[in-house]
């Protein structure tokens, strides 16, 4: 479909902000990715619904994203539409020991709000640079905690555009997966149930985990976080280190010297640089240890 017609579909409709030919590198933590034809940033559930309806009616490919911290976008960008649920869709409310949040709210914001209200349970998620929708999709977790431990219920739009509400048990949370990824749901709002605690105890845990993260992870460089899933019985970073790949560079991409489980964008890396480096790492680890590393970061878009 030509660009003019594509723009007309969303022009003057109540779908929120509409960006055209928007560089995806401005919306991903990897700082990589060519332009998406149309990016929509809805502010309300009705706007999310309408944006999806227009995409479907016009047979347009669309995808939901949050804060782009688990995405690697190809250099040719994305044909179609990205519906970004993040900065325009991030209202949060606290009532007693529950937090009610729109899916675009950042995990760090929820962690801060929980601390301000002396609510405990969410500390583990401090420093995960994603929004709640992405966290529900992959049951984000760290330092022994995961979303499964703190979610009470999740409101979603299903493939037909109907609103459904699922309890924690119905979400099928597991390591890096959930009902959201199984069924292609769109997460709208989440209810977290936390515990009343002492402000200083919660702060101490947050400070400790923040120190662990900043001292061990290459947060000074753009990346998509852990590049690979944890293989059963192993640690990806150790397998990569033991294969002698620490600091290996291809183009602008590097196996982090600080944490081998991270491929980082050290100097204007292209998606191709990152993918080539990932292939070298996978092959070397397979040859050395017989372990098949699986990419955790989601790959989207088309080549240049
Ligand atoms: P995006 O990257 O925008 O999207 C990821 C997936 O979620 C896509 O498939 C997208 O379609 C889907 N999605 C996003 N929003 C919605 C929605 N509203 N409804 C339906 N689907 C949606 N992850 C961890 O689990 N633990 C960690 O400790 C951790 N550390 C990290 C450290 C760094 C430095 C970085 C860069 C990443 C790290 N991550 C970690 C990965 C990432 O932050 C999480 O996976 C996060 O939950 C992704 O959220 P996002 O909003 O950025 O999702």
**146-196 residue pLDDT tens:** 999 999 999 999 988 999 999 999 999 999 999 999 999 999 999 999 999
Is the C-beta atom of 42 inside 6 A of ligand 1? no
Rounded Cα gap, residues 159 and 62, in angstroms: 12
Is the C-beta atom of 6 inside 6 A of ligand 1? no
Q: What is the pLDDT of residue 112?
A: 98
pLDDT at 1 over 80: no
φ, ψ of residue 285 to 5 degrees: the values are: -65, -40
Which of 52, 68, 69 to mutate for ligand 1's pocket (most ligand atoms within 8 Å of CB)? 69
- Residue with the nearest Cα to atom 53 of ligand 1? 134
Q: Which residue has the tokens 């919306």?
A: 27
List the end-to-end C-alpha distance of the chain, in Å, as a whole number.
Answer: 19
Which domains, and CATH codes, for the chain? 3-84 (3.30.43.10), 92-216 (3.30.465.10), 236-300 (3.90.78.10)
Is the C-beta atom of 29 inside 6 A of ligand 1? yes
Is the C-beta atom of 261 inside 6 A of ligand 1? no
Rounded Cα gap, residues 10 and 18, in angstroms: 8
The predicted-structure confidence for 255-296, as pLDDT tens digits, reads as follows 999 999 999 999 999 999 999 999 999 999 999 999 999 999
pLDDT at 2 over 90: no
Q: What is the pLDDT of residue 177?
A: 95
Sheet holding 92-95, edge to edge: 92-95, 98-102, 186-193, 151-157, 163-167
User: Average pLDDT in the 34-48 region?
Assistant: 96
**Cα-based distances in Å from 256 to 113, 264, 282:** 32, 6, 15
Q: What is the pLDDT of residue 211?
A: 98
Strand-pair partners of 41: 17
Q: Which regions of the chain does DSSP assign to beta strands (E)?
A: 17-23, 35-41, 62-65, 71-73, 78-84, 92-95, 98-102, 119-120, 141-142, 145-146, 151-157, 163-167, 186-193, 195-196, 249-250, 253-255, 263-265, 298-300
- Residue with the nearest Cα to atom 45 of ligand 1? 70
């Amino acid at each position: 479909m030509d660009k003019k017609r594509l723009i007309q579909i969303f022009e003057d409709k109540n779908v929120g902000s509409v960006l055209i030919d928007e560089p995806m590198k401005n919306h991903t933590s990897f700082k990589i990715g060519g332009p998406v034809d149309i990016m929509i940033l809805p502010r309300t559930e009705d706007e999310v619904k309408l944006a999806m309806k227009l995409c479907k009616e016009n047979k347009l490919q669309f995808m939901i994203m949050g804060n782009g911290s688990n995405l690697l976008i190809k250099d040719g960008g994305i044909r179609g539409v990205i519906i970004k649920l993040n900065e325009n869709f991030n209202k949060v409310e606290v009532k007693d020991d529950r937090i009610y949040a729109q899916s675009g709210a950042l995990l760090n914001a929820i962690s801060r709000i929980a601390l301000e209200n002396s609510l405990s349970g969410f500390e583990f998620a401090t420093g995960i640079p994603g929004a709640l929708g992405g966290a529900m999709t992959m049951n984000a977790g760290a330092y022994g905690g995961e979303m499964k431990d703190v979610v009470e219920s999740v409101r979603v739009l299903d493939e037909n555009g109907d609103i459904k509400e699922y309890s924690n048990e119905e979400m099928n949370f597991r390591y890096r997966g959930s009902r959201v990824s199984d069924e292609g749901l769109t997460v709208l709002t989440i209810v977290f149930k936390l515990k009343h605690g002492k402000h200083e105890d919660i702060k101490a845990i947050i400070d400790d985990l923040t120190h662990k993260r900043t001292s061990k992870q290459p947060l000074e460089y753009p990346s998509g976080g852990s590049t690979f899933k944890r293989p059963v019985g192993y640690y990806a970073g150790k397998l990569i280190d033991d294969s002698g790949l620490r600091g290996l560079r291809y183009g602008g991409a590097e196996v982090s010297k600080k944490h081998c489980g991270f491929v980082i964008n050290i100097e204007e890396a292209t998606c191709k640089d990152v993918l080539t480096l990932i292939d070298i790492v996978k092959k070397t680890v397979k040859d050395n240890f017989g372990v098949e590393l699986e990419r955790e970061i989601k790959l989207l878009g088309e080549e240049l």
